[in-house]
Structure 1
Amino acid sequence: MDFNLSEEQLMLRDGVERYIRDDYGFEQRRHQATTGEGFNREHWQTFAELGWLALTLPEDVGGLDCSFVEASVVLESFGRGMVLEPFISSVMLCSRIVDRSGSEYHRQALLPALIEGRLLLALADSECDTRFTLGCIEETLARRTGDGYQLNGLKTMVFDAPSADKLLVTARLDDHPHPAIFVVDRTAPGVEVIEYALVDGTRAADVRFSKVNLPATALLIEPSQSQPILEEASDRAALAVVAQSLGVMHGVMDMTAEYIKTRSQFGQPIGKFQALQHRMAEMFVEAQHARSILYRGMAYLDKPAEERARAISAAKAATGKAGRFVCAQGVQLHGGIGMTEEYPVGHYFRFMTLLEKRFGDTDFHLARFAKGY
């Protein structure tokens, strides 16, 4: 595997970094996180115009048919900028499920609109009340009606659901052991979205379905075909989180290195103290470890499911540990200012905390990795 970026990939990285630096300032980001949907629709539309929403999708729906490497380049820069827009939910996860569904009707109806920035998607899959219990609190069920389906149940912690136009909902159908996947309008009668803000400023929701009537065309994937598609898309989304986490780590290191060069104590910059240099070196080593294991995960994306799962679990677990270490050290090296709301390093820590939990936390992926042996 060639670890050097091509000329086109370098241009993409430079373009994203320039946009984040010039048009996605920290103060604007901090304000946006506390208002409305938790992100800026104008930024999302710009992402579409720049082609970032089309990167991984095939050409027949208007995509650019790029590899995961290009997506990781964008995601790393998004991590540096703590981007709030739902790129992973819509572009890396849901669009992959729709693209692999085999339904030309849904591919042509949903994916071009997503690429143009006119449509946001969210996956409603979890039924576990992770705040209080470890079990399923209410199973989502679909039953056939004369001309379609009726949906009842509850989904919890649906990331980016408050802003989604459509939800991809998993539901048990015909007592099959695996769920079917339906496309549901977020504003359809019987859909109740109970939204809340997360620790990093992004939004999630619990979504209740009460006698939601769906047409026959709402069925995206049959139960017999859903499991491998869901697992593959979730693995790719988990690796996308790894790439974004790497950007967070580099953002923290850059900020911390600059701070210890300018903060003086005992008549000299604290960056000259050997103990702090050792800490910065440890942070760099952890970030490089995360980068290496991200590349390994990308190399395994097209491997058989078990090999892919082990590689991505290794990447997610290692990056979760590394990210927490780097961000904690960044806050500590900043001292008291690192705990203030007005300074970015604490926001990086909260952002990393959410990334570590998405698509399985460190403990989950350590267990899945160990289970493979």
Structure 2
Amino acid sequence: MNFQHTEERRMLADTLNRFISEQYGFATRDEIARSTQGFSTELWARFAELGVIGALFDEASGGFGGGGFDISVVFESIGRGLVVEPFLDTLVVGRAIARSGGDLQNAALGSLIDGSRIVALAHGEPDSHYELARVATTRARRSVNGNSGVWTLHGAKAVVQHGEHAQVFLVSARTSGEDDAEAGITLFLVPSDATGVSVRGYRKIDGGRAAEVTFDDVTLGDDTVLGSVDHGFATLEYALSCGVLALCAEAVGAMDVAKDYTLDYLRTRKQFGVPIGSFQALQHRMADLLLEIEQARSAVINAAAALDGERNARERAVSAAKYSIGRIGTRVAEECIQLHGGIGMTWELPLAHYAKRLVMIDHQLGDEDHHLERFVALGAQGR
């Protein structure tokens, strides 16, 4: 298999990396991440103008990419710059709409690609423990009003990225079945200004903002249902596989920068009159780290190649990648900080922020323990 990127992807990566290095330096990023909004509307629009969002979707959806390697190219660059704009939720929600949306819902994808509409995934619940099918507290019931169906949505979602500024939430709700059953999950596109929707935002430890979203008897029409009633799990699983791949690629980009910072420090920091990088013990630690990063990169390549393949192979590949990223990302964060010494923990040093992001990526959309168990379970299903 040829793992070389196409000319178009290389051009996209070069353009995006150049834009981030020139317009999204660490000082700018830190100011944006700590702002009350948690991201920059202006820079989000500029990312859209560059075609970065469009690269995450295929031509049928109004984009010009959409493959696994397109996603990995974009998010690796995002990881290098610690970009906090809402790329991940735009990808996840947009791919869910593209997979299962009706004509009217698919027509709205254009507003996601041009950056004019902010969307957010509202799926996780406080006691779900990363289990994708566990939708217990958020429920929807249907009644009939004249000739059209009316749904009443009630419940709460936790850690909704950019929830304060999203105009639309993709909400998973239990419409039938047991709390942890795959059947019985329905997806709804809920306007954030609908009566009964309340949002409480907060800052995240790794930059940007998230929110807790509560739905108090929100009335919805049939046109808000994404896909088929009770059969939203497959769409959700696929969209989140795209999200897991994106997070893994982002982590590889962050690892590369953390590695470069550390190598530079080892070459310039002197002890006993010589650079500490000349000490054999530190050279061995750094060599081991470089091998681990390349293993993580290989896992991302494997997941990207499997994204559009058969379901079981796809899910095993993304879980394998997420497990690898969780383990390796934590090690990269710890080793790079230790090799820097005490300065590695200071707020002013960008490395500390890359380390935080790597640790938090492990806890987003399932940690390494969850994905290891899932990988094993999917393997048993495939026998």
**TM-score bracket for the superposition, by shorter chain length:** over 0.9
343 and 58 in structure 1: CA distance in 2 versus 1, 3 angstrom threshold: same
Determine the C-alpha separation between the residues in 1 that align with 2:254 and 2:241: 20
Letter in 1 for 2:123: D
Tell me if the contact between 1:140 and 1:155 (Cα under 8 Å) persists in the aligned partners: no
1:86 counterpart residue number: 86
1:333 counterpart residue number: 339
Tell me if the contact between 1:242 and 1:315 (Cα under 8 Å) persists in the aligned partners: yes
* Per-residue deviation, 1:61: 4.1
Letter in 2 for 1:114: L
SS of residue paired to 1:153: strand
* Per-residue deviation, 1:102: 3.7
Determine the C-alpha separation between the residues in 2 that align with 1:218 and 1:22: 41
1:232 counterpart residue number: 238
Letter in 2 for 1:310: R
Q: Deviations over 1:126-175 (max 9, x none)?
A: 223479xxx87733333334142221111122222222110011112255
Alignment of 1:141-152 (within 5 A): 141-146=140-145, 147=148, 148-152=150-154
2:168 counterpart residue number: 166
Q: 2:297 aligns with which of 262, 266, 291?
A: 291
20 and 11 in structure 1: CA distance in 2 versus 1, 3 angstrom threshold: same
* Per-residue deviation, 1:202: 2.3
Tell me if the contact between 1:129 and 1:156 (Cα under 8 Å) persists in the aligned partners: no
Letter in 2 for 1:153: G
Determine the C-alpha separation between the residues in 2 that align with 1:73 and 1:302: 16
1:74 counterpart residue number: 74
- Structure 2 gaps, min length 5: none
160 and 41 in structure 1: CA distance in 2 versus 1, 3 angstrom threshold: same
Tell me if the contact between 1:169 and 1:184 (Cα under 8 Å) persists in the aligned partners: yes
* Per-residue deviation, 1:107: 0.6
Residue 51 of structure 1 pairs with residue 51 of structure 2: yes
Determine the C-alpha separation between the residues in 1 that align with 2:158 and 2:308: 30
1:269 counterpart residue number: 275
1:36 counterpart residue number: 36
Determine the C-alpha separation between the residues in 1 that align with 2:151 and 2:230: 17
Tell me if the contact between 1:128 and 1:136 (Cα under 8 Å) persists in the aligned partners: no
1:95 counterpart residue number: 94
2:159 counterpart residue number: 157
Determine the C-alpha separation between the residues in 2 that align with 1:341 and 1:187: 37
SS of residue paired to 1:143: strand
Determine the C-alpha separation between the residues in 2 that align with 1:4 and 1:58: 20
Residue 361 of structure 1 pairs with residue 363 of structure 2: no
Determine the C-alpha separation between the residues in 2 that align with 1:218 and 1:52: 28
* Per-residue deviation, 1:326: 0.9
Determine the C-alpha separation between the residues in 2 that align with 1:66 and 1:207: 29
- Relative to the length of structure 1, the TM-score reads 0.94
1:190 counterpart residue number: 196
Letter in 2 for 1:234: L
Letter in 2 for 1:49: E
SS of residue paired to 2:232: helix
* Per-residue deviation, 1:216: 2.7
Determine the C-alpha separation between the residues in 2 that align with 1:65 and 1:79: 19
Determine the C-alpha separation between the residues in 2 that align with 1:263 and 1:334: 9
Q: Deviations over 1:112-136 (max 9, x none)?
A: 00111101111111223479xxx87
162 and 114 in structure 1: CA distance in 2 versus 1, 3 angstrom threshold: same
Determine the C-alpha separation between the residues in 1 that align with 2:52 and 2:283: 37
Tell me if the contact between 2:154 and 2:216 (Cα under 8 Å) persists in the aligned partners: yes
Determine the C-alpha separation between the residues in 1 that align with 2:69 and 2:310: 19
1:201 counterpart residue number: 207
1:122 counterpart residue number: 120
2:104 counterpart residue number: 105
211 and 130 in structure 1: CA distance in 2 versus 1, 3 angstrom threshold: closer
Tell me if the contact between 1:140 and 1:154 (Cα under 8 Å) persists in the aligned partners: no
* Per-residue deviation, 1:8: 2.1
Tell me if the contact between 2:299 and 2:321 (Cα under 8 Å) persists in the aligned partners: yes
Q: Which shows bigger deviation, 322-331 or 155-164?
A: 155-164
Q: 1:245 aligns with which of 251, 254, 268?
A: 251
SS of residue paired to 1:38: coil
1:15 counterpart residue number: 15
Matched residues, number: 368
13 and 123 in structure 1: CA distance in 2 versus 1, 3 angstrom threshold: same
* Per-residue deviation, 1:204: 1.6
- Relative to the length of structure 2, the TM-score reads 0.92
137 and 103 in structure 1: CA distance in 2 versus 1, 3 angstrom threshold: closer
* Per-residue deviation, 1:88: 1.0
SS of residue paired to 2:220: strand
Q: 2:313 aligns with which of 298, 304, 307?
A: 307
Q: Deviations over 1:277-314 (max 9, x none)?
A: 11111111011000111111122222322221111111
Tell me if the contact between 2:139 and 2:175 (Cα under 8 Å) persists in the aligned partners: no
Q: Deviations over 1:28-84 (max 9, x none)?
A: 111111112211111110111001111132334421134221221111111011111
SS of residue paired to 1:65: coil
Q: 1:281 aligns with which of 280, 283, 287?
A: 287
